[in-house]
């Protein structure tokens, strides 16, 4: 095949002819065998629990997944690529059904898709996928939690107040999808000492509740 690609132009293979060459077909076949999809039940449960998490938890998980080191999310990246059949950077319901057809039915697939589709696009983009499937032993690392906390703590006071949460959740990046009443209720649930603000310790406890949902399922 190489000889037919480095010869004179009039004798050279076209791109299509090269792709149809037996060597290419064999390589693609072997590559497909290596990329066996391993979407465990735990991963699916992570996605389901992500939908049950508070918006604050979801945003924190998103922030952590974006800044996680490549080594920490290597497995998830490969899983996403194996599911993303058309390579457009998003997972559709059809792609999820194909990837998981031996384990779940169509209704379950739709539920999983909705669980991770935080922007309501009808598809799961790469960031949403990472946030919804990242392991607790990664997102509970203190350095990752600290970075996520600092994203909320805009004024650098060391505490998160209502206005900072409202500005983040209702900003241009995330869309106006959470009411002030809902934010206030979430703040009260997290604010253990009742001072109207969330410190880092309270923030960590909030994230630990996200891991507790997984524990209850096992």
The contacts found for 57-60 with CB under 8 angstroms, 24 or more apart, are 57/206, 57/207, 57/209, 57/210, 58/118, 58/131, 59/152, 59/168, 59/169, 59/174, 60/145, 60/148, 60/149, 60/152, 60/203, 60/206, 60/207
Whether this prediction's pTM lies above 0.75 is answered by no
Written as tens digits, the pLDDT of the chain (218 aa) is 888 888 888 889 888 888 888 887 777 666 555 455 556 777 777 888 888 887 788 888 988 988 899 999 998 998 888 888 788 888 887 777 776 654 555 566 677 777 788 777 888 889 889 998 898 889 999 999 998 899 889 889 999 888 888 777 765 444 444 556 766 777 777 777 777 788 999 899 888 887 765 555 44
What are the chain's domains? 41-136 (1.10.238.10), 139-216 (1.10.238.10)
At residue 152, the 3 state secondary structure works out as helix
pLDDT at 46: 82
């Amino acid at each position: 095949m190489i000889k037919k690609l480095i010869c004179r132009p009039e004798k050279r293979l076209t791109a299509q002819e090269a792709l149809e060459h037996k060597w290419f077909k064999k390589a693609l076949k072997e590559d497909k065998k290596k990329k066996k999809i391993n979407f465990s039940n735990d991963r699916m449960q992570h996605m389901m629990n992500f939908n049950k998490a508070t918006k604050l938890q979801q945003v924190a998980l998103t922030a952590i997944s974006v800044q996680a080191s490549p080594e920490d999310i290597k497995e998830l990246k490969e899983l996403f690529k194996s599911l993303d059949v058309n390579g457009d950077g998003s997972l559709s319901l059809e792609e999820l059904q194909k990837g998981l057809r031996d384990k779940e039915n169509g209704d379950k697939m739709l539920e999983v898709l909705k669980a991770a589709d935080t922007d309501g696009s009808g598809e799961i983009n790469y960031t949403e996928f990472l946030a919804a499937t990242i392991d607790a032993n990664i997102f509970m690392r203190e350095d990752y939690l600290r970075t996520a906390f600092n994203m909320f703590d805009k004024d650098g006071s060391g505490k998160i107040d209502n206005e900072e949460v409202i500005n983040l959740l209702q900003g241009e990046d995330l869309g106006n999808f959470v009411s002030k009443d809902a934010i206030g209720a979430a703040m009260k649930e997290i604010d253990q000492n009742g001072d109207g603000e969330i410190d880092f310790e309270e923030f960590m406890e909030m994230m630990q509740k996200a891991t507790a949902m997984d524990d209850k399922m096992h």
